[in-house]
């Protein structure tokens, strides 16, 4: 059984190197971090959300059935922090591979990967100081190196301003990370446009990649799209 927040699609992947690709989403509940700008607080923040309403147990078979009904080539498993349920994710990933789905997993990079070749792409998003999380909770160098060693990880950092890029560079250098993506923080189009414009030149100058948040530009900060 999985602790599920929502399963939805068909839609598109809104971030990173697969931006714009058709996908279905499996959003799991609970998180081991507490980002101040989190856009899915309903998966973990119980002072203003009710877990009895927001989360439910769902079998792997039921999740696979819902995904199979979507006309999509790819499934994105996200959260919350999905690797809190990594043991339960293994049978889900196996079943999804059997029906021909590409699998991407979104994670904050604080829990080491143990799903082997079942995941086609790890979208690892280490959190910076701008998240409000203490350093020892949000930054696990050995875990980030383990993701890099899979050969299937991209590293997507949420930046609010150009000054954040120095913090990203320190992590990249210490952990030997490659395939770096910078994404502006924002849950509305105006903020994304402003921050993207301010970050773009500096990101390119460092030899990194820039991603927007396509789902925010298309639908705003709505759930289930």
Which structural domain, as residue segments, surrounds residue 48? Answer: 2-156
Whole-Å CA distances, 39 to 91, 103, 206: 28, 22, 28
Is there a domain that residue 135 lies in? yes
DSSP string, 139-177: --HHHHHHHHHTT-EEEEEEESSTTHHHHHHHHHHHHT-
Tell me the pLDDT of the chain (225 aa) as tens digits: 999 999 999 999 999 999 999 999 999 999 999 999 999 999 999 999 999 999 999 999 999 999 999 999 999 999 999 999 999 999 999 999 999 999 999 999 999 999 999 999 999 999 999 999 999 999 999 999 999 999 999 999 999 999 999 999 999 999 999 999 999 999 999 999 999 999 999 999 999 999 999 999 999 999 888
Rounded to an integer, what distance in angstroms lies between the CA atom of residue 110 and that of residue 57? 24
Position 166 in a domain: no
pLDDT of residue 114: 95
The domain that holds 139 is classified in CATH as 3.20.20.70
For residue 69, how many other CB atoms are within 10 A of its CB?
A: 11
Query: How many domains does one find in the chain?
Result: 1
133 belongs to a structural domain = yes
45 domain residue, yes or no: yes
What confidence score (pLDDT) does residue 225 get?
Answer: 84
Start-to-end CA distance of the chain, whole Å, equals 24
Residue 174, domain member (yes or no): no
């Amino acid at each position: 059984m999985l602790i599920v927040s929502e399963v939805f699609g068909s839609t598109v992947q809104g971030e990173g190197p697969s931006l714009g690709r058709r996908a279905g989403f499996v959003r799991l509940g609970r998180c081991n971090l507490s980002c101040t700008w989190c856009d899915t607080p309903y998966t973990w923040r119980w002072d203003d959300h009710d877990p009895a309403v927001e989360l439910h147990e769902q079998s792997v078979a039921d999740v696979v059935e819902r995904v199979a009904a979507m006309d999509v080539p790819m499934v994105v498993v996200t959260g919350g922090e999905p690797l809190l349920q990594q043991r339960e994710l293994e049978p889900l990933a196996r079943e999804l591979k059997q029906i021909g789905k590409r699998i991407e997993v979104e994670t904050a990079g604080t829990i080491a990967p143990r799903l082997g070749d079942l995941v086609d792409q790890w979208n690892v998003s280490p959190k910076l100081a701008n998240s409000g999380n203490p350093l020892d909770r949000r930054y696990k160098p050995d875990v980030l190196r383990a993701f890099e060693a899979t050969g299937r990880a991209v590293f997507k950092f949420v930046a609010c301003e150009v000054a954040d890029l120095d913090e990203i560079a320190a992590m990249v250098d210490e952990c030997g990370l490659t395939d770096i993506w910078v994404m502006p923080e924002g849950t509305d189009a105006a903020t994304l446009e402003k921050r993207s414009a301010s970050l773009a030149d500096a990101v390119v100058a460092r030899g990194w990649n820039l991603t927007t948040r396509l789902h925010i530009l298309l639908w705003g900060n709505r759930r289930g799209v």
